[in-house]
Amino acid sequence: MRLRTVDPNDDQAFAGWFSVVEASYQHDRPGERNWLLEELQARGRGSKAERFVDVAAIDDGAVVGAARLGLPLLENLRLVGLSQLAVRPDRRRAGIGTALLAEVERLATAAGRDLLEADLDEPGWPEVPDPGRIFAGRHGFECAQVAVRRDLTLPADRERIDTLEVQCRRYVSGYALRTWRDRCPQDLVDDRAVLAARMSTDAPMGDLERAAEHWDADRVRDREGLQLAQNRSWVAVGAIHQASGRMVGFTEVGFPLRAPERGYQWDTLVRREHRGHRLGAWMKVANLRQLADVSPVTTLVTTWNADDNAPMIAVNKSLGCAANGALTHWTKRLGDQR
C-alpha cells in the first residue's frame, strides 16, 4: 500500500478518492446522501479562507482509503481540520485508517500546526457506541463537543408551523424579516459579515479551541462563490431591527441542486443583545415557507446542534425535528509548537 496526494483538478483521481468517501458513508448510513462529488471537489480547490490536502491510500492500483485535511489561512493558524477519514468497508481494521492518520499528522506538523480536529458521524448515538470512538481514543483524541443531529420531514406540519408563527409574533414587535436566495442583498452584506464573525464567538463551542474570525463583505462573497461552485443553492432569512435598520439575525438552509431532496440547515444566529424575542423561531418558520416555494422537492432538512445549546434545540423541537444520531467533534494536540 502507498499513500499519495490527490489533485482536485484531476477528475479521474479525485473520483477514485471520492468513491471511498461515498462507500464508507453508505455503509454507515445506508441509503442516505451525504457530500456529492462536485461539492467536495470544488471545496478541495480551496478558498481565501482555507487550503485543503487530500490523501489517498492505494493498494494494487485501487483506492482503499481517503483523508482530507483543511488548513485555515486567516485565523486559527495552529489548527488542522480532519474533515474526511474513510476506509473502504471491506478493507477496514487492516491498519489503513491508522496509516492515513499518521500521514495527516505528518503533513500537519510540516505545516507548523499543532492542533488537530476531527468530526465523527455517530448514527447510533447515544445508545450504540460507534467504532470510531475506539479508534479516536486509541490515537489520542478527546471528545470536545457533541452536536446532536435532528431531521425535519417536509412538508412540515402546517398546524404546528402556523401555531409557532402566531406565538412568535407576540414577541417580535420592532423587527421585520427579509428573505433572499443564494446571494445576500448588497445593502445587508456588511451586517451579514458581522453576524458571520459573531458565529465564531457567540455559538457554543464546547471544549473546542477557536479564535475569533474576522469577516468583511469580500469574505462573504468569497464564501457565496464557493457554494455556487459546489452547485448548491440556499434560502435565507434575516431579522431587521427596524429602529436601527440593521440585520441582527439570520438563518440559512442549503441544498445541492443535483440532489435537492435533502436540505441542510446551515448557520442560524441572533445577536446576543437582540435575543429573547423569538427571532430564531420566527426566521426559521419563514425560511421553511420560502424553501417550500423554491424547492418543493426537498423532503428532509438535517440540522446539528451542540448538546448544550438549549435555546436552539428548543426551537428545532418546536418545528418538529427528531433526533437521529450525532456529530461528535474530537481534538488532538500534536506537540507544543507555539
Do the first three CATH levels of 2-113 and 151-326 match, i.e. the same topology? yes
Q: Residue 37, Cα to own-chain centre: how many angstroms?
A: 16
- In the chain, what are the domain boundaries? 2-113, 151-326
If pLDDT is split at 50, 70 and 90, which confidence band does 124 have? Answer: very high
CATH class of 151-326: alpha beta
What is the rounded distance in angstroms from the CA atom of residue 56 to the CA atom of residue 130?
Answer: 24
| Mean pLDDT over each residue of the chain, to the nearest integer | 96
What pLDDT digit, counting tens, does each position of 180-232 carry? 999 999 999 999 999 999 999 998 888 999 999 999 999 999 999 999 999 99
**Confidence band (pLDDT; 50, 70, 90) for 337?**
very low
* Cα distances (angstroms) measured from residue 22 to each of 30, 31, 90, 152: 10, 11, 13, 23
Q: What is the mean pLDDT of residues 246-261?
A: 98
Rounded percentage of the chain residues whose pLDDT exceeds 70: 99
Among 2.60.120.280, 3.40.630.30, 1.10.760.10, 3.40.50.300, name the CATH number for the domain at 2-113: 3.40.630.30
User: Model confidence at 257, in pLDDT bands (50, 70, 90)?
Assistant: very high
Each residue of 31-73: pLDDT tens digit? 998 899 999 999 999 899 999 999 999 999 999 999 999 999 9
35, burial (CB in 10 Å: exposed 0-12, middle 13-18, buried 19+): middle
What pLDDT does residue 294 have? 98
Q: Please classify residue 69 by burial: count the beta carbons closer than 10 Å to its beta carbon, then call 0-12 exposed, 13-18 middle and 19+ buried.
A: buried
Which whole number is the average pLDDT over 273-299? 97
338 pLDDT band (50/70/90 cuts)? very low
Cell 427596524 maps to which residue? 242
Supply the pLDDT for residue 277.
96
pLDDT digits (tens, 9 = 90+) for 154-169: 999 999 999 999 999 9
- Percent helix, strand, coil in the chain, to 5, is 35, 35, 30
**What mean pLDDT comes out for the span 90-113?**
96
Q: What is the pLDDT of residues 296-334, one digit of tens each?
A: 999 999 999 999 999 999 999 999 999 999 999 999 999
- Average the pLDDT over each of 120-124, 134-138, 204-208 and give the range with the smallest value: 204-208
pLDDT, position 119: 95
pLDDT at 336 over 80: no
